A = this chain, B = another copy of it.
Amino acid sequence: MSTPLSIKIDRSSPIPLYHQVAQGIEGAIRDGSLASGTRLENEIELAQRLRLSRPTIRKAMDDLVQSGLLVRKRGVGTQVVSSQIRRHLELSSLNDDLERAGKKPSTTLLSFEHIPAPEQIQELLSLPKDVSVYHFTRLRSAGGSPLALMENWVRDDIVELDEKSLRAHGLYELLRDAGVNFRLAQQRIGATIADDIQAKALDAEAGSALVTMQRTAVDDTGRNVETGSHVYRADAYSFEMTLVQR
C-alpha cells in the first residue's frame, strides 16, 4: 500500500530539510510516480527511513496540504489529491505567470509620469505627505497579441523608476531587484465592458468583456509599495486558484 518514494536529503545544503522533503514529494506527484489518490507512507515510517524527525516530515506535509497537493485524515493517512490542474493563485505578476507558461511576454510603455500622489492613491498606499508616486500605463502582449492593459502607481521613496527600465523589465522584477520583499497583496477581481480606448489598445471590439483586477501589494516592512488597476481580455485570460479548507 505504501509507495516506496525515494527522496534525497542533503544535510549540507542550505535548503531546509523540511523543504527538501516537500520538494521531493511534490516532484514525485508532478512527474506521476505518485498518482492521485495514492496513500503515502505514514509520517513515522517516512521519518525513520529518511533519518529525520517526525516534526520535520510533518512540516513538509503541512506545506503541501496548504498548497492543495495532499489531504490528511487522522487515523487513516495522507493521500495525494485528485489530479486537477493544481496551479495556486500566488503572489506573482502576470509577467512571471507568462514566463512560466513558456509564452514570451512583451511590454509597451504607453505613458509614464512622476507626480505628487492623487488623494485616492495617497489613501490606498497610506502615503506620508511628502512622498510622490510614479504613475504609468503599460500594454502587455503575449505571442504577439495584446492581453492586458495595466495602470500602476508606485511610491517613489523605495525604488527609482524610469522609462527605460520599465520598457526592459517587469515591474515586480524591478522591485525585487531594489530589495523589496513582498509579503501580502489585497486584490479584487471583477468584470467590465471595454470602452473605445481600451478596445483599441487591446485590439478588441468596444463592448467586449474584460476581466478587471485591482491590487495593492505590501512589503515585509508593512509599507504599501504598489497599487494597480488592470484589465485583461476575457477571451485570453482568467484567474485560476485552489482554495484550501483550513
**Closest-CB distance, A43 to chain B (whole angstroms):** 16
Report how far A210 CA is from B193 CA in the complex, Å: 9
Contact check, B184 vs A218: say whether CB atoms are below 8 A apart.
Answer: no
Interface residues on A, range: 35 or more
Is A220 on the interface with B (CB-CB < 8 A)? yes
Contact check, A190 vs B211: say whether CB atoms are below 8 A apart.
Answer: yes
C-beta contact mask, A195-239 vs B, less than 8 Å → 1, else 0? 000000000000111111000101010111000000000100111
Contact check, B218 vs A81: say whether CB atoms are below 8 A apart.
Answer: yes
Contact check, B71 vs A183: say whether CB atoms are below 8 A apart.
Answer: yes
List B contacts of A67 (CB < 8 A): 246
**Closest-CB distance, A83 to chain B (whole angstroms):** 8
Contact check, A241 vs B211: say whether CB atoms are below 8 A apart.
Answer: no
- Using A82-B126, A82-B224, A220-B73 as known contacts, say yes or no to A89 and B207 having CB atoms under 8 A apart: no
- Contacts A71-B184, A188-B238 supplied; 16 other A-B pairs, CB < 8 Å: A71-B183, A89-B241, A181-B245, A184-B242, A184-B243, A184-B245, A185-B242, A189-B189, A191-B191, A191-B211, A191-B234, A192-B209, A192-B234, A193-B208, A207-B207, A209-B209
